[in-house]
Every structure is written in C-alpha cells, then in structure tokens.
DNA sequence: CCTAAATAGGACCATGGGGGTCCTCTTTGA
DNA sequence: TCAAAGAGGACCCCCATGGTCCTATTTAGG
C-alpha cells in the first residue's frame, strides 16, 4: 500500500510530492485545453498557473513525457499536451510513471529465488492480495475523478503557500 | 495509498521497515503460543528467532504495546504476548500503530480551513475515495492472512541476510 | 532483602533517498 | 539567424527513518 506522509506527520501512507505535482499539472493541462491534438501549454506557463516552481514542473513533465502521459513539442511555440483525456488516465499509471511499480514489499513477483533459497520467509507471497487490492483501488480512480472542473493546486505546495 | 519501496527501488508504495518487522514479530509471537492469557515471549528471544536486531525488536514491541496490540509484562520472567489472535488484527491497525493514520495526502479530513481560505485547491476532498479504498483494502486483510503456519522473517531483513 | 531479568520511555546519531535546482544540447518557429 | 522551448542529465541539500543506547521501573526468585 502506499502511504502518503506529506511531511505533516499525520499520515502513514506516502504519496511522493512529485506524483502530487503531476496530478495537478495534468489537471491544469486539461483545464487549459491542452488535450490530444489541442494547443500546447508551456512548462513556465504551467508553473505560473499552478504555483509550483518552474524547474520542478519541467521535471515532472519530462517524466510524464517519457511515460507517454503527455506529449512534448519542442522548439519555439512548443509545449506539452495530454495524450489522453483525464478520464482515460488511471491514477495508478501516474504513480507508476513517477515512482515506479506499485507494491507493498520487496517480496513481490521477483525475488522468489532468494526467499526460497533461505527457506525462512513464510510471509513471502502472502502480500500479493494486499498489493493487488491497492493496485485495483488506484486503477479504478482516474485523474478526472481527482481533478475538479476548476483550477487546483497541489496539496503539498499549498501547505508551503500557507506557511509563507 | 501506501507505496512500499523497501530500498530495492522497484516499488512505488512504501511500507516502513518497522511495520514489516512488526508483522513478523507478531506472527512469531503467535507461532510460539504467546497468545492472550498465554505464556510470554521476551524481546531478546524474539530477536534471536526472527533474526532482527534486538534493540529494533524491543522498539517495535514497545510501539505495539502502546497501541494495545501486544501486552508487555515487566520484571523477571516478563515478556510480551498478543492481546488478540492474529485473525483479529487487521493489517491496517499495525500500520497505523507504527506509522500513523493512513491517508494519501495532507488534504484529508483536517486542513479544510487552509485549503478553503486559499480557494485554489479544487483537488481537495477528492482524494477521499482513494484513501477509503486503501484503508478498506488494508482492513480486510488480517495478520493471519500474512503469517503462514510456519516461521517467517521480514522481507527487508531477509534481503540483508542474503547480502551478507 | 537483594539481585538479576525484563519492560518502559526516552534521547541520540547516521544515512540515503527524494525534492529541488541548474547546465547543456537539440529542436523549431518567426 | 535568433529566441523560445523541450530533452536529458548532473548535482546538492535536507530530513525522516532506521537503528542504537541509556536510565528508570517493575518483579520473580533465592
């Protein structure tokens, strides 16, 4: 399972800040019409719109681009746009793009040889139902469910704004 | 959601090592008959049985004791025993005991005033379905599901054993 | 009554992974 | 030809976690 701490020390599950940013940035792209075949939005512009630092926005967009979740157009008048509408992007895909595969323990899928060789790990394999449940929950929710019809800012960055 | 990294860098969701240890230690308590009203098991003994460092085992047991998941008996011939059978302990309770409340973002439950004051966070509140789904998944699985009938070692510690 | 064994409850420190920034190269429209 | 923008890295700092240790308290047993 993923526990999101977000530095408030109140939550066990951690969602990486970058994933939080990614959701916000993609929601902003959708809001501004940067949809497939639509007009693009620049990283500096998205930084201004969301309040997230520009280098960070650029970093997130590059990662999302590698994962195919956004399309980057280079050169002057370049920018980014979504490759799919938000409703077609499960949250799990964003998490995987930013943080990697979703699993609770290292005892998943791979690593069988190790555990069996030692023969002391009876827990091995039993985390699978948990992992599956988590993955399913994350796959059933799309970015359209998270992004409201209006503008938004990341929860984490918001805390920074308040603190300043 | 909770992502368990476990230092292999392959998983997005992170489960804290201490939680991993807690599951293993509690499973060992059950295996050795340290059930409610049963005989107790000492921290040093559990350390030997599980291969986890003794100070770490002691720390985990103290935390579990504060959460009421185990009962500690002081003095000579003292030790720990479970307060409930494993089948009555949802995984979520162990996670909460070790890491704190389970939630994906800080935008949950509390913090309403902040977000509304700023008026820029449209995502707020929309994480709730995700959080609920995760909590539900973690609550539906008990330690009995994770702990096999035989002995076990934590996945993380196991990796250390292999590496050495 | 005294001692040993064990828990309770802290303080304390090191480390590594993530967040964040910056630099260079490439592409492309005007 | 130039400026704007993405692509792809390298790089650094911070702090949360994991791990250890110390002291006080409790208690069985001789």
Q: What is the CATH number of the domain that holds A147?
A: 1.10.10.10
Interface A:B, Cβ pairs < 8 A: 265
Distances (CA, A) of A140 to A27, A57, A85, A91, A162: 17, 26, 15, 8, 32
Q: Hey, are the CB atoms on B1 and A3 less than 8 Å from each other?
A: yes
Q: Is the pLDDT of residue B8 over 60?
A: no
Nucleotide nearest residue A72, measured CA to C1': D6
Q: Is residue B53 part of a domain?
A: yes
Q: Is residue B117 part of a domain?
A: yes
B100 chain-A contacts, CB cut-off 8 A: 9-12
Residue from A1, A49, A51, A124 to probe the interface with B (highest B Cβ count within 10 Å) = A1
Tokens coding A93: 């895909």
Number of domains in chain B: 1
Q: Is residue A73 part of a domain?
A: yes
Distances (CA, A) of A109 to A101, A106, A121: 11, 8, 14
Tell me, in Å, how far CA of B55 is from C1' of C13?
15
Q: How far apart are CA B32 and CA B26, in angstroms?
A: 10
User: Per-residue pLDDT tens for B41-71?
Assistant: 999 999 999 989 999 999 999 999 999 999 9
pLDDT tier at A30, thresholds 50, 70, 90: very high
- Give strand pairing partners of B41: B80
> Whole domain around residue B100: which residue ranges?
17-154
Å from B15 to nearest chain A CA? 6
Q: Is residue B11 part of a domain?
A: no
Q: Is residue B12 part of a domain?
A: no
pLDDT tier at A101, thresholds 50, 70, 90: confident
Q: Which residues contact A81 (CB under 8 A, 6 or more apart)?
A: A29, A34, A35, A36, A38, A39, A40, A41, A70, A71, A73
Q: Is residue A131 part of a domain?
A: yes
Of A10, A101, A115, the CB nearest to B12: A101
Å from B162 to nearest chain A CA? 7
Q: Is residue A36 part of a domain?
A: yes
Q: Is residue B23 part of a domain?
A: yes
């Amino acid at each position: 399972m993923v526990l999101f701490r977000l530095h408030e020390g109140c939550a066990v599950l951690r969602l990486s800040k970058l994933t939080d940013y990614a959701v916000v940035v993609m929601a902003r792209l959708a809001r501004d019409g940067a949809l497939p075949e639509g007009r693009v939005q620049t990283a500096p512009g998205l930084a201004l719109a969301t309040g997230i630092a520009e280098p960070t926005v650029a970093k997130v967009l590059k990662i999302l681009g590698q994962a195919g979740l956004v399309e980057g157009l280079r050169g002057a008048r370049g920018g980014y746009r979504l490759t799919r509408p938000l409703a077609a992007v499960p949250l799990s895909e964003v998490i995987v793009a930013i943080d990697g595969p979703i699993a609770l323990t290292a005892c998943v899928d791979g690593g069988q040889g190790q555990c069996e060789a030692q023969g002391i790990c009876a827990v091995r394999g039993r985390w699978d139902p948990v992992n599956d449940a988590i993955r399913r929950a994350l796959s059933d929710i799309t970015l359209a469910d998270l992004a409201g019809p209006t503008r938004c800012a990341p929860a984490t960055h918001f805390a920074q704004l308040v603190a300043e």
